Amino acid sequence: MIKIAPSILAANLLNIEDEVISVDKAGANYIHIDVMDGHFVPNFSFGYNIVKSIRLITKKTLDVHLMISPVDQYLEAFANAGSDIITVHAEAGAHLDRSLQVIRGLGKKAGVSLNPSTPTDVVQYVLDKVDLILVMTVNPGFGGQSFIESQVDKVSTLRKMIGDRPIELEVDGGINPKTAALVTGAGANVLVAGSAVFNSGKYKKAIEALRQGASS
């Protein structure tokens, strides 16, 4: 099943409670929360308090993407705030294996994200500790960027590496009905979409369009 994870980075932040409730009711599977530190990526966004607040208004899976470095010292705070999946960047620290162990030790699903220039082999020896792999199809830090088509091959390579392991393969960046077809055709099963959902004004219709595009 294709899962849709609206990214609240593109939501109306003056009305965030209603925005989250709206995409929840519109059929979102996950709520994707981008956390940026202005250091690892050139932008700032949410902290663990926003995760804690969103946890109070939805039972949907909170898919928390940490674009921060260093990251290990913040994992417990994001776990305690109510994250269900905590994804760290392979590039954000020297000890990816350790970070993934910590996340799982906190009782959460562990994800690893790869920037566009990052090769797939960085996850080769941690697949036994990963629940989700996130392929960035834009350079992280800002919403509304154009899809990088070279990442479709990366998705395909990772799908082969995953094999029959119960690991979800997620994509984030420039996702719309057209690009959804490309990445799901290559093996992705979770689509992060910000502008395509929140700029539409009709969230249920936008989510359905993504699912239809993914199945075409």
Encode pLDDT of 121-158 as tens digits. 999 999 999 999 999 999 987 777 789 999 999 999 99
Domain spans of the chain, in order of start: 3-214
Task: Determine what percent of the chain is predicted with pLDDT higher than 90.
Answer: 93
- In the block, residue with structure tokens 């689509």: 191
Catalytic hit among 24, 84, 131, 172: 172
Encode pLDDT of 10-51 as tens digits. 999 999 999 999 999 999 999 999 999 999 998 899 999 999
Q: Which pLDDT belongs to residue 149?
A: 95
Q: Which pLDDT belongs to residue 146?
A: 87
Q: Which two tokens mark 166? A: 């119960």
Instruction: Tell me which fold the domain 3-214 belongs to.
Output: TIM Barrel (3.20.20)
Residue at 32: amino acid letter: H
Q: Does the active-site annotation cover 172?
A: yes
Encode pLDDT of 168-208 as tens digits. 999 999 999 999 999 999 999 999 999 999 998 899 999 99
Q: Does the active-site annotation cover 34?
A: yes
HSE-CB for 143 with a 13 A CA cutoff:
21
Query: What DSSP element (H or E) covers 19?
Result: helix 16-25
Catalytic hit among 34, 37, 63, 131: 34
Angstrom CA distances, 157 to 113, 165, 179, stand at 15, 14, 17
Q: Say what the pTM is.
A: 0.96
